[in-house]
Amino acid sequence: MTAKRVLLIISGGIAAYKSLELIRLFRADGIEVSPVMTRAAEQFVTPLSVAALAGSPVHRDLFDLTSEAEMGHIQLSRSADLIVVVPATANLMANMANGAATDMATTLLLATDTPVLIAPAMNVRMWTHAATQRNLATLRGDGITVIGPDDGDMACGEFGPGRMSEPKVIFAAAKAMLRDGPLLGRRILVTSGPTHEPIDPVRYIANRSSGTQGTAIAEALMSLGAEVVFVTGPADAPRPIGAEVVEVETARQMAAAVDAALPCDAAVFCAAVADWHVVDAGDSKIKKDAAGTLPSFALAENPDILATVSQGDKRPALVVGFAAETDDVIANATAKRLRKGCDWIVANDVSPATGIMGGAQNAAVLISADGADPWPLMSKADTAHKLATRIAEALQ
């Protein structure tokens, strides 16, 4: 597979130092980096540091006679698979929005039809200024992908939106735009997190799912080139950058979102969906009875999303369910696979002693028509990559 190439434009802001970590992440993943620095960027990081980490010379001068004899800025702008701008300052965004070509960076950005990802970073008042917001709207309308900024403390001492996204977040967004691999062209649905079933406006029925495994699976599938639709309940885990994220709260909302996401090539049902909902959830908070009488609730069964999709007309080629068990894990998961009609079940022991539910590790067993395949204890990220690889093999 041909290595992907990123043209990394570093502009003049305090967040420029984070570009060094971003270069490291790209190189560690086998992505080639061609760095471009504005003159202002050199006030924050040195060209020598950037060149050493990138393993490539830094492009700085638009009027370099050696490279421009071969129209170097045109070649640079079109030889990359993706252009990433970190940080995207207010000034650079203004130049981009208005088509100004004042230096090497802005000329490259004007002379390209390559996808562009920018990570804005600036003072909170600059970010919220009407001019910056107009420029932002123009850039988005032009097809520029924008990641961030985040809320946080700034070098100027203020707090608010304007802090550049962290390098690992920018890297994940760039990877999503550079999709390649055995799942390229495949659309995969992933459900994740818990569902919350209201009792009243304050209380709800839920479980302990953090959504960590679901996010890891979505990221692993995207790393192999897949387009991912990520339907999630109110999970604690961050949402996968680059996926189409659909937020829901209840099981019935999740069922509707899943149906709307079909058809797709494969579906991974990792969400820990509540089995029941309260029939008549209160519109007002249920108060304690002075006599100490306990309230009672009538429960109704929630839609069986896994069975509905596995047995439905819009069934994907591969349907993967999850089984969180505390007893007789393999036997219960095997019975569940047959009952639901799915192709695989990823089963795990979520007894309190294992720490798997809501934890960072997983010890899964892949149940299929061929039997049970136990996997060793590993991180949830490694579990996700193992599952994604198996999915890619199955779809091929």
**How many angstroms separate the Cα of 20 from the Cα of each of 23, 60, 277, 329?**
5, 17, 50, 46
Distance between the two ends of the chain, CA-based, in angstroms? 17
How many angstroms separate the CA atoms of 384 and 348, rounded? 13
Q: Is 287 annotated as a binding residue?
A: no
Instruction: Locate 177 and state its tokens.
Output: 């735009």
Set 156, 264, 270, 342: catalytic member: 156
> Is the Cβ–Cβ distance between 162 and 168 less than 8 Å?
no
How many angstroms separate the CA atoms of 188 and 35, rounded? 34
Q: Is 240 annotated as a binding residue?
A: no
> Is the Cβ–Cβ distance between 27 and 1 less than 8 Å?
no
Does the annotation count 156 as an active-site position? yes
Q: Is 168 annotated as a binding residue?
A: no
Q: What is the CA radius of gyration of the chain?
A: 25
Q: Counting runs of H as helices and runs of E as strands, what totals does the chain give?
A: 14, 21
Q: Is 285 annotated as a binding residue?
A: yes
How many angstroms separate the CA atoms of 51 and 47, rounded? 6
How many angstroms separate the CA atoms of 270 and 231, rounded? 10
Q: Report the greatest alpha carbon distance in the chain.
A: 91
Q: Is 175 annotated as a binding residue?
A: no
How many angstroms separate the CA atoms of 97 and 115, rounded? 15
Give bridge partners of residue 189 from the DSSP assignment.
Answer: 229, 267
Q: Is 306 annotated as a binding residue?
A: yes
User: Nearest-CA neighbor of 152 among 15, 39, 16?
Assistant: 15
Q: Is 183 annotated as a binding residue?
A: no
For tokens 């208005």, the residue is: 98
Helix (H) or strand (E) holding 32: strand 32-37
Q: Is 57 annotated as a binding residue?
A: no
**How many angstroms separate the Cα of 184 from the Cα of each of 26, 180, 227?**
20, 6, 8
Q: Is 395 annotated as a binding residue?
A: no
Burial class from Cβ neighbours inside 10 Å (0-12, 13-18, 19+) for residue 98 reads exposed
Binding annotation for CTP? 275, 285, 303-306, 322, 336, 340
Binding residues: 275, 285, 303-306, 322, 336, 340
Q: Which residues are catalytic?
A: 156
